[in-house]
């Protein structure tokens, strides 16, 4: 699958390159001057991500694609620069943006008070809900509740919002932290952990690729959160630019088109 070339984003990019300004969506009342934005490397927008979170980011061959990569491409187009994707562990990506080694992190990053203390966030572009994934034939957890996780061995992605939530809100027997969900899925299928707590969209992809070995518990979401692009603390020009692009994608309906286009992206693989 090739990266989606979003008509609205391309038109905005062309306009920006000709006039030096980008007119955002309905929420933005003034044109934004993208020429005021500096990037870590001249002529490039460097985005940090972890390509094991389909449909938001995943590998096709050695290329990272997904919802977040299309958003990042639209931002790069608006800035008139090349997009450079750096695929790394999730924790490493968040550290890289704090240290100014990447311009942004687009990796299904949940907004939390703890993270807002050390990095800035764009406007939110999607609301998500976290679910419990179990073995289909022998579920060790039967309800999607914090109480049901008591004394269980719970798999999470290291450093993401599920890791923080399970640690702070449950009495899990142990929390097993993985850099990639595919590793957690293998351990769950082999009975090494009792469940995985993760976002619903990649959970659906993971279950569909498990050959019937895994399932998502029925019922309400375990908890809900929202995704945004992470930016170095205090980098107001970059935040304003990212906000302008995201608002335009949302207001034009292109954000919905991006999400729909990647909804059948396929699950993550060992190659990620």
Nearest Cα residue to 103 out of 29, 55, 34, 10: 34
pLDDT of residue 217: 97
Residue 264 above 70 pLDDT? no
- What pLDDT was estimated at residue 214? 97
Tokens of 116: 């807002």
Q: What is the mean pLDDT of residues 103-109?
A: 96
Is the pLDDT at 8 greater than 60? The verdict is: no
CA distance 11 to 84: 21
Beta-ladder partners of 121:
230
Average pLDDT over residues 139-161: 95
pLDDT at 29 over 90: no
Pick from 40, 98, 112: nearest CA to 233: 98
What is the pLDDT of the chain when averaged over all its residues? 87
Residue 11 has pLDDT above 60, yes or no: no
For residues 241 and 95, the answer to whether their CB atoms sit within 8 Å is no
Query: What pLDDT score was predicted for residue 145?
Result: 96
Token pair belonging to 244: 């302008």
Tens digits of per-residue pLDDT, 182-235? 999 999 999 999 999 999 989 999 999 999 999 999 999 999 989 999 999 999
What local confidence, expressed as pLDDT, does residue 19 receive?
34
Instruction: Give residue 180's pLDDT.
Output: 87
Q: Name the pTM for this structure.
A: 0.73
Which pLDDT score is estimated for 227? 94
Residue 4 has pLDDT above 70, yes or no: no
- Beta strand residue intervals within 111-236, DSSP E: 119-121, 126-135, 153-157, 174-178, 195-199, 214-216, 223-232
Q: Taking 60 as the threshold, does the pLDDT of residue 59 lie above it?
A: yes
CB-count exposure of residue 171 (10 Å: 0-12, 13-18, 19+): exposed
DSSP-derived pairing of the beta strands 214-216 and 126-135: antiparallel
pLDDT mean over 6-25: 37
CATH number of 7-126+227-261: 3.40.190.10
28: its two tokens: 């933005």
Residue 32: what pLDDT? 81
The CATH class of the 129-224 domain is alpha beta
Domains 7-126+227-261 and 129-224 alike in fold: yes
Does residue 3 surpass a pLDDT of 70?
A: no
- List the domain boundaries for the chain: 7-126+227-261, 129-224
Section 116-125 average pLDDT: 97
Structure tokens that stand for 50 in this block? 């972890």
- Quick: pLDDT tens for 226-249: 999 999 999 999 999 999 999 999
Query: What mean pLDDT do residues 21-36 have?
Result: 56
**pLDDT interval class at 92 (50, 70, 90):** very high
Tell me, what's the pLDDT at 33?
A: 86
Give the mean pLDDT of 136-142: 96
- Strand (E) or helix (H) holding 165: helix 161-169
User: Sign of dihedral through CA atoms 166, 97, 236, 39?
Assistant: negative
């Amino acid at each position: 699958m090739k990266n989606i070339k979003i008509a609205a984003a391309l038109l905005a990019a062309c306009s920006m390159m000709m006039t030096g300004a980008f007119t955002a969506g309905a929420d933005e009342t003034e044109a934004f001057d993208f020429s005021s934005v500096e990037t870590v490397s001249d002529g490039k927008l460097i985005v940090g991500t972890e390509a094991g979170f389909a449909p938001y980011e995943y590998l096709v061959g050695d290329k990272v694609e997904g919802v977040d990569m299309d958003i990042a491409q639209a931002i790069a187009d608006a800035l008139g620069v090349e997009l450079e994707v750096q695929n790394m562990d999730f924790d490493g990506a968040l550290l890289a943006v704090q240290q100014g080694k990447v311009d942004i992190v687009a990796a299904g990053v949940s907004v939390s008070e703890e993270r807002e203390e050390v990095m800035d966030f764009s406007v939110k572009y999607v609301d998500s809900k976290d679910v419990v994934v179990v073995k289909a034939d022998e579920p060790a957890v039967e309800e999607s509740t914090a109480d049901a996780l008591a004394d269980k061995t719970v798999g999470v992605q290291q450093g993401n919002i599920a890791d923080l939530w399970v640690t702070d809100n449950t009495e899990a027997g142990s929390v097993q932290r993985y850099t990639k969900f595919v590793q957690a899925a293998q351990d769950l299928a082999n009975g090494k952990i009792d469940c995985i707590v993760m976002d619903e969209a990649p959970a659906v992809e993971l279950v569909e690729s498990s050959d019937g070995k895994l399932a998502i518990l029925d019922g309400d979401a375990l908890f809900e959160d929202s995704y945004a692009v992470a930016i170095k603390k205090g980098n107001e020009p970059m935040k304003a630019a990212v906000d302008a692009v995201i608002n335009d994608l949302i207001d034009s309906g292109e954000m919905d088109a991006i999400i729909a286009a990647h909804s059948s992206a396929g699950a993550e693989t060992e190659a990620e």
